[in-house]
């Protein structure tokens, strides 16, 4: 059964020892962030803060909902120890079986409604997460909802939102993003774009909001397929949008036309402070609705692994695999290591059927991967999800000169740590691919033999060896 709301998911995580209730009072100013960051870097359970300094009893913060593959498997109602290769294939399978949402009247998110002058976002325990952050960030693990006026397509995304004051928040959404493209349809009609932010939703909703679902595809339909049950949505109070009915907190508003406020910097998914303080989009909040005793959700971006890294290692790998297969590429596996912060993808191919450059440019041809600076191409005797095997392929099969191919003056992003300030401002980047395949013009007898358990021993000998180890209790 799918989780109805965040609270059911929290109970399941606690039963699986993937959650730790923090009963002592903690400070929203850096202390919550520090505990969450340690949780990520040490592989500890997801912290659930029960008492927040300066806030009423019942106002809680839940952090790092999906920061490892066990929690993702639990969210998908699978065995917690499901291997990541199976999570990727299960994602693709369910994505192909979308379910339309159902509209319900009201819902738990309507238990409290604040409009107009009664709106005060400072009522919620919004954390100051990193010492270097430009302010308190109200949107780090949530859903941002907006609708294309030309097509009627509703997009669920995840964009960072900095809290400016009681009824204004910032938004980082650059030109390549779906939200920025949708906003153009509103600007062309001289209207401010309506927007809604749902905080504290059931886990698959945030999982899919953070996924690279292609333009025009409804994330909420994909959520239904992932859950095996339609998502229940409810209408917003002051904007023409729908949000999950069991959301903990819903913020409704509009992007203020021709107005910018300074936003950033923020500790980002690259593991570094990302985005300088710059004038960026502003949302004027019109209405806030929330549950009794609301649970505020957050994520501490930074050095891997965080919820972004873990979820996108599944979703981005799956989407890239499907994209390359649709191009007719003989791909056997694709994986983006969580530790690579979305900056590197490993692609395994059938030997002799495709060149590494075809794979690399196929990857970069998609919007999904246009900003991926590193592509590693291996053969199908390498498991792309096995870091040890990938490292060995790089050092043993990639020629230091001809095997590493650099591409200059490509599209970059403002958050790439290795780019200069000039390159970040003008979205200039660079890429490289690593060819870890044996050259096609080599004589087969010149190809080195692999010395491994699978390659060096016939099946009957391997089975005897395995049986011997089983008898020893392994």
Residue 46 has a pLDDT of 95
Residue 145 has a pLDDT of 97
Q: How far is CA 463 from the centre of its chain?
A: 40
Contacts of the segment 410-417: beta carbons below 8 A, 24+ positions apart: 410/364, 411/176, 411/370, 411/371, 412/371, 413/174, 413/176, 413/371, 414/174, 414/274, 414/275, 415/268, 415/269, 415/270, 415/274, 415/275, 416/270, 416/343, 416/371, 416/373, 417/270, 417/271, 417/272, 417/274
Residue 440 has a pLDDT of 87
3-state helix, strand, coil in the chain (%, to 5): 30, 30, 40
What pLDDT band is residue 104 in, cutting at 50, 70 and 90?
very high
Q: 268-285 pLDDT, tens per residue?
A: 888 888 878 999 999 999
Domains of the chain: 6-298 (2.30.110.10), 327-438 (3.40.1670.10)
Q: 167-215 pLDDT, tens per residue?
A: 999 999 877 789 889 999 999 999 999 999 999 999 999 999 998 888 8
pTM: 0.91
For residues 322 and 334, is the Cβ–Cβ distance under 8 A? no
What pLDDT band is residue 323 in, cutting at 50, 70 and 90?
very high
Residue 367 scores a pLDDT above 80: no
Burial category of 151 from C-beta neighbours within 10 Å (exposed 0-12, middle 13-18, buried 19 and up): exposed
Q: 37-70 pLDDT, tens per residue?
A: 999 999 999 999 999 999 999 999 999 999 999 9
- Of 69, 52, 58, the closest CA to residue 18 belongs to 69
Residue 216 has a pLDDT of 85
- Of 155, 162, 142, the closest CA to residue 295 belongs to 142
Q: How far is CA 54 from the centre of its chain?
A: 31
Residue 369 scores a pLDDT above 80: no
Residue 474 scores a pLDDT above 80: yes
Q: How far is CA 444 from CA 403, 437, 441, in A?
A: 19, 13, 9
Q: What is the mean pLDDT of residues 319-336?
A: 94
For residues 363 and 369, is the Cβ–Cβ distance under 8 A? yes
Residue 73 has a pLDDT of 97
Residue 77 has a pLDDT of 95
Q: What is the mean pLDDT of residues 257-275?
A: 89
Residue 260 scores a pLDDT above 90: yes
């Amino acid at each position: 059964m799918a989780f109805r709301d965040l609270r059911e998911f929290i109970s399941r995580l606690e039963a699986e020892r993937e959650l730790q209730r923090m009963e002592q009072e903690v400070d929203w100013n850096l202390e919550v962030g520090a505990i969450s960051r340690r949780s990520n870097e040490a592989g500890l359970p997801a912290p659930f803060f029960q008492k927040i300094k300066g806030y009423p009893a019942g106002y809680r913060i839940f952090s790092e909902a999906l920061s490892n593959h066990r929690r993702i498997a639990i969210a998908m109602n699978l065995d917690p120890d499901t291997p990541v290769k199976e999570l990727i294939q299960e994602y693709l399978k369910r994505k192909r079986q979308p379910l339309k949402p159902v509209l319900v009247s009201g819902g738990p998110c309507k238990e409290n409604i604040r409009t107009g002058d009664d709106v005060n976002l400072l009522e919620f325990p919004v954390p100051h997460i990193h010492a270097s952050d430009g302010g308190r960030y109200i949107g780090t693990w949530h859903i941002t909802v907006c609708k294309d006026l030309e097509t009627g397509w509703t997009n669920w995304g995840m964009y960072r939102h900095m809290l400016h004051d009681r009824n204004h928040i910032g938004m980082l959404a650059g030109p390549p993003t779906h939200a920025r493209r949708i906003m153009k349809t509103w600007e062309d009609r001289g209207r401010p774009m309506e927007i809604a932010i749902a905080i504290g939703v059931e886990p698959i909703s945030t999982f899919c909001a953070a996924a690279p679902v292609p333009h025009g595809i409804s994330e909420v339909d994909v959520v239904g397929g992932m859950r095996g049950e339609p998502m229940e949505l409810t209408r917003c109070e002051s904007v023409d949008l729908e949000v999950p009915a069991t959301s903990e907190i819903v913020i409704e508003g509009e992007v203020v036309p021709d107005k910018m406020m300074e936003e950033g910097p923020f500790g980002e998914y690259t593991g570094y402070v990302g985005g300088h303080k710059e004038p960026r989009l502003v949302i004027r909040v019109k209405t806030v609705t929330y549950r009794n005793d609301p649970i505020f959700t957050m994520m501490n971006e930074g050095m891997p692994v965080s919820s972004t890294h873990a979820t996108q290692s599944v979703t981005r790998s799956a989407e890239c695999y499907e994209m390359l297969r649709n191009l007719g590429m003989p791909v056997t596996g694709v994986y983006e290591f969580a530790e690579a912060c979305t900056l590197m993808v490993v692609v395994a191919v059938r030997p002799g059927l495709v060149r590494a450059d075809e794979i690399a440019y196929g990857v970069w041809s998609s919007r999904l991967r246009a900003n991926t600076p590193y592509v590693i191409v291996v053969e199908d005797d390498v498991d792309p999800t096995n870091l040890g095997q990938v490292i060995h392929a790089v050092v043993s099969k990639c020629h230091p000169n001809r095997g590493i191919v650099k591409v200059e003056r490509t599209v970059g992003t403002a958050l790439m740590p290795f780019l200069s300030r000039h390159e970040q401002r003008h979205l200039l980047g660079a890429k490289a691919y690593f060819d870890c395949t044996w050259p096609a013009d080599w004589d087969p007898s010149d190809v080195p033999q692999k010395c491994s358990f699978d390659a060096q021993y016939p099946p009957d000998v391997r089975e005897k060896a395995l049986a011997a180890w089983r008898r020893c209790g392994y």
